[in-house]
Structure 1
C-alpha cells in the first residue's frame, strides 16, 4: 500500500477536490471524525469547512495546517468499504492523527479503488502536531498494515529516462499519467518556448497553459495542465503544476528554456526538414516525408483557419523547434502560403554535407570578390601570371601586371628625383639622431 501525503494551506481546495469526485459519481464518503455528515448524503463544502474550523484556532501561526492523504492498495487487493475505513482509521491512529477532525473518501475513478483523507495538523490550542519524520513513519505504518491484513506489497512507480511515454488513457489514473508524461518530457526532450513544449506534450494528449493574475493583491504566474483526447478536447479536470511536482512548475520550465538555448544544435534537424521540403509536392506529402524521417509536424491554426504556428518535433535528436528557428522558409507564413498555393513553394537552401573548405576533385571555387582567377586557378595551356604582392611599406609602388611574351619590355617603377632626394635627407637625419643618443 502506497501512502501519499500533501501538506497545504487550502482546506476548501482539498474538500472541493473530493466533492467533485462525488458529483461525478466517482466517489463517496466512508466516514468522519468530529465532522457532521448530513443524513441525506448531500455534502456542503462550506458547512464542512466550518466544522473543521471549529476545532482550529482563529489565529494560528501554522501556514500550512491541512493534510491531504491518499492510501493506494495494490490493484490485486479488492477491499470492501468497511475494510477501507478500518485501514484509514488505524493508519491515522498510528500516525498520531486519530483524534483530529478528519473525513474519509473513497475514489472509484480508476480501476484501482483507493481512499483520500482530509485532516488538519493543529489542535484546538493552535499547537502543531508532531510532524518529524512524517513520511518515514508513514512508510513504516503502511508496511505494518500490509503484513497485518495480508495485503500485497505495493511500491511507488519509479520513472527513469528509459521509461516509455504513452498517450493518456481516459480510463486510467489521469493525474499520475500527466505527472509521468510531464516528468519524462522534461528529462528527455529539449525545447525553448511554451509552443515547442506543447508540441511535444500534444503527442501524448497533454496540454499546458500559462496562468497569470492577481489574488488578494498579489500577482501569481503559474502553469495548468490538461489531459485531452486525440482531437485536443479536455477530458478531465485541469491540474495545477503544484499538484504534479516542482519539476512541472513555471519556474522549472522557464529555467529549462534558458538551459536548452545553449544546448540545442539545429543543423541536423534543418537538413532533414530541408530534404523533405525539397522533395515534397504539397502539405500532405511534406508531412508524410517528415514522418519517414521520424519528425512530426505540429500545426496551430487560429479561429479563422489561418496557420499561425509551426513546430518540428524531431524524435531522432529529441528536440522541438519552431519553424522560424530553422529559417524564414520554414516559418508559419511561408508554409501557409505554400499549403494554399502549390506554386508558392519556399526556396530551400540545401545544407552542406561536408566540412567547410573541402571540395570535390576537379571543382574550383570562385575568388571571394568575384574577380579574375589567380594563377593556380587559371585554365591549362595558358601562361601563368606573377601574383600581385601586397605593399610592404608606404613608399612601395604598385607592380604592373606582366604581359605574356613581353617581359623584357615591361615598364618599371616611375623615378622622381625630388622624392628620392627627400628620402635620402630623411635617412641621414635618422642616423645622426641615433648617434647623438
Structure 2
C-alpha cells in the first residue's frame, strides 16, 4: 500500500476535489470524525466546510493547515468498505490525526480503488500536529497495515510495468470528463518541476497540453488547454480549457505546484532511488530498446524527444514508484539528453537552435494572441477544432 501526503492551505480545494467525484458518482464517503454525516452519507460541500471551520481557531498561525492523504492498496487487494474504513482510522491514529476532524472518501473512478482523507494539521487551540519525520513514519505504518491485513507489499506493487490508470480514448466519447479525471489525478499525485515535464507525463495517457500566452483586452494572459491524442499523437476532438476542469490544473496552480514539488523532491531525496536504477540499467544496456525495457521492469517509463535527424534533444524519466516525472538532467549530467544521445542516439548534423535546452523541453513560445495554441500543421483531421476557433473569434469580435 502506498500513502501520498499533500499539505496545503486551501480546505475548500481539498474538499471540492473529492466532492466533485462524489457528485459525479465516482466516489463515496466511507466515514468521518467530528464531521456530522446525514444518515445516507450524502454530504454536501457547504455542510462539510462548516463542520471543519467549527474546529478551526480564528487566528491560524500555521499557513498550511490542511492535509490531504491518499492510501493506495495494490490493485489485487480486494478490500471491503469496512476494511478500508478501519485501515484509514488506524493510519490516522498512528500518524497523530485520529482525534482530528476528517472525512474518508473511497474513489472508484479508476480500476484501482483507493481512499482519500481530508483533515486538519492544527487542533482547536491552533497547535500544529506533530509532523516530524512524517514521510518516514507513514511508510512504517503502511508496512504494519500490510502485514496486519495481508495486503500486497508496496515493493511488489512498484514492479508493475505500467500505472493502473486508463488512457484517454476519444472513441469512447465524453472527452472532457476523461481528460478532467486524469489531469486532476496526475497533477495531484505526481511530482514534476516544470509544465513541460507535466506535459510529457500526460502524453503517456493520450493527453496533449499547450500553453496559451499573449494579451487579451490589454492584459497579459497565461492559460492552458488540454486535448485528446490518438496513438500517433494527433489531436482529436475539441480542446478543453483548464478553467472548465478546475483551478488545480490551470497555469497558475501548476506553476505553484512545480515550486512545491521541487522542495518536496529535495527534502525527501526522491531522485536517489530512481538515479540508482537508471545508472544500473544504462550499464547493462547496449541499445535504446534494451535501456527502455530495463527501466520498465522497475516501473519507470522513458520518453525521448528527437529532431527530424534523429538526434535526442530531450528525455524524461517517469517513475511510477516515486511518482515523479523529471527530465534526465535533474538526475545528473550523465543522464541528460546529450549524454543519452552520445550513447544511444544516431549521428546527426549540427543541432538546431535551442535543442540542448532540456529543462525548457524545447517548447517554442507561443505567438502573441489568445488563439495561438492552435496549430494544424501535420496534425491530421481537426475539423472540430477549426469550428471551435471560428466560434471563439466571432465571440471576440462581438466583444
Q: TM-score, normalised by structure 2?
A: 0.51
Deviation at 1:46, TM superposition (A): 1.7
Kindly tell me: are residues 204 and 140 of structure 1, through their superposed partners in 2, closer, same or farther at Cα, counting changes over 3 Å? Answer: same
Corresponding residue number in structure 2 for 1:21: 21
Corresponding residue number in structure 1 for 2:182: 174
Kindly tell me: are residues 132 and 250 of structure 1, through their superposed partners in 2, closer, same or farther at Cα, counting changes over 3 Å? Answer: closer
Instruction: Say whether the 8 Å CA contact 1:223–1:241 is kept in structure 2.
Output: yes
Query: What is the alpha-carbon distance in structure 1 between the residues aligned to residue 64 and residue 260 of structure 2?
Result: 22
Asked which structure has the greater CA Rg, the reply is 1
Corresponding residue number in structure 1 for 2:341: none
Query: What is the alpha-carbon distance in structure 2 between the residues aligned to residue 245 and residue 88 of structure 1?
Result: 31
Deviation at 1:241, TM superposition (A): 6.4
Query: What is the alpha-carbon distance in structure 2 between the residues aligned to residue 250 and residue 8 of structure 1?
Result: 10
Query: What is the alpha-carbon distance in structure 2 between the residues aligned to residue 323 and residue 106 of structure 1?
Result: 41
Query: What is the alpha-carbon distance in structure 1 between the residues aligned to residue 364 and residue 121 of structure 2?
Result: 48
Query: What is the alpha-carbon distance in structure 2 between the residues aligned to residue 220 and residue 23 of structure 1?
Result: 35
* 1:93 and 2:93 correspond: yes
Instruction: Say whether the 8 Å CA contact 1:15–1:118 is kept in structure 2.
Output: yes
Kindly tell me: are residues 223 and 251 of structure 1, through their superposed partners in 2, closer, same or farther at Cα, counting changes over 3 Å? Answer: farther
| Structure 1, unaligned runs of 5 or more | 189-196, 214-218, 253-263, 271-293, 295-313, 326-331, 337-437
Kindly tell me: are residues 128 and 41 of structure 1, through their superposed partners in 2, closer, same or farther at Cα, counting changes over 3 Å? Answer: same
Instruction: Say whether the 8 Å CA contact 2:168–2:205 is kept in structure 1.
Output: no
Question: 1:206-225 maps to which residues of 2 (within 5 A)?
Answer: 206-209=208-211, 224=224
Query: What is the alpha-carbon distance in structure 2 between the residues aligned to residue 3 and residue 245 of structure 1?
Result: 24
Q: Name the structure, 1 or 2, with higher relative contact order (CA <8 Å, separation 6+).
A: 2
| Cα deviation 1:327-357 (Å, max 9, x = unaligned) | xxxxx99x89xxxxxxxxxxxxxxxxxxxxx
Instruction: Say whether the 8 Å CA contact 2:35–2:51 is kept in structure 1.
Output: yes
Deviation at 1:67, TM superposition (A): 0.4
Corresponding residue number in structure 2 for 1:81: 81
* 1:118 and 2:94 correspond: no
Query: What is the alpha-carbon distance in structure 1 between the residues aligned to residue 137 and residue 168 of structure 2?
Result: 33
Corresponding residue number in structure 1 for 2:104: 104
Deviation at 1:44, TM superposition (A): 2.0
Deviation at 1:105, TM superposition (A): 0.4
Kindly tell me: are residues 133 and 241 of structure 1, through their superposed partners in 2, closer, same or farther at Cα, counting changes over 3 Å? Answer: farther
Instruction: Say whether the 8 Å CA contact 1:181–1:201 is kept in structure 2.
Output: no
Corresponding residue number in structure 1 for 2:302: none
Instruction: Say whether the 8 Å CA contact 2:73–2:114 is kept in structure 1.
Output: yes
| Structure 2, unaligned runs of 5 or more | 170-177, 231-235, 263-304, 312-345, 347-354, 368-373, 379-399
Query: What is the alpha-carbon distance in structure 2 between the residues aligned to residue 134 and residue 324 of structure 1?
Result: 41
Query: What is the alpha-carbon distance in structure 2 between the residues aligned to residue 249 and residue 212 of structure 1?
Result: 23
User: 1:56 is paired with a residue of what secondary structure?
Assistant: coil
Instruction: Say whether the 8 Å CA contact 2:192–2:261 is kept in structure 1.
Output: no
Corresponding residue number in structure 1 for 2:8: 8
Question: 1:286-305 maps to which residues of 2 (within 5 A)?
Answer: none
**Which shows bigger deviation, 43-52 or 232-241?**
232-241
* 1:134 and 2:142 correspond: no
Kindly tell me: are residues 57 and 74 of structure 1, through their superposed partners in 2, closer, same or farther at Cα, counting changes over 3 Å? Answer: same
- RMSD over aligned CA atoms reads 5.2
Q: How many pairs were matched up?
A: 257
Kindly tell me: are residues 35 and 167 of structure 1, through their superposed partners in 2, closer, same or farther at Cα, counting changes over 3 Å? Answer: closer
User: 1:35 is paired with a residue of what secondary structure?
Assistant: coil
Kindly tell me: are residues 269 and 115 of structure 1, through their superposed partners in 2, closer, same or farther at Cα, counting changes over 3 Å? Answer: closer
Deviation at 1:225, TM superposition (A): 6.8
Kindly tell me: are residues 34 and 183 of structure 1, through their superposed partners in 2, closer, same or farther at Cα, counting changes over 3 Å? Answer: same
Kindly tell me: are residues 136 and 205 of structure 1, through their superposed partners in 2, closer, same or farther at Cα, counting changes over 3 Å? Answer: same
Kindly tell me: are residues 203 and 45 of structure 1, through their superposed partners in 2, closer, same or farther at Cα, counting changes over 3 Å? Answer: closer
Kindly tell me: are residues 81 and 225 of structure 1, through their superposed partners in 2, closer, same or farther at Cα, counting changes over 3 Å? Answer: farther
Corresponding residue number in structure 2 for 1:418: none
Instruction: Say whether the 8 Å CA contact 1:223–1:249 is kept in structure 2.
Output: no
Corresponding residue number in structure 2 for 1:148: 148
Deviation at 1:268, TM superposition (A): 5.0
* 1:72 and 2:72 correspond: yes
Query: What is the alpha-carbon distance in structure 1 between the residues aligned to residue 220 and residue 3 of structure 2?
Result: 30
Kindly tell me: are residues 22 and 251 of structure 1, through their superposed partners in 2, closer, same or farther at Cα, counting changes over 3 Å? Answer: closer
Kindly tell me: are residues 58 and 324 of structure 1, through their superposed partners in 2, closer, same or farther at Cα, counting changes over 3 Å? Answer: closer
Q: TM-score, normalised by structure 1?
A: 0.47
| Cα deviation 1:383-415 (Å, max 9, x = unaligned) | xxxxxxxxxxxxxxxxxxxxxxxxxxxxxxxxx
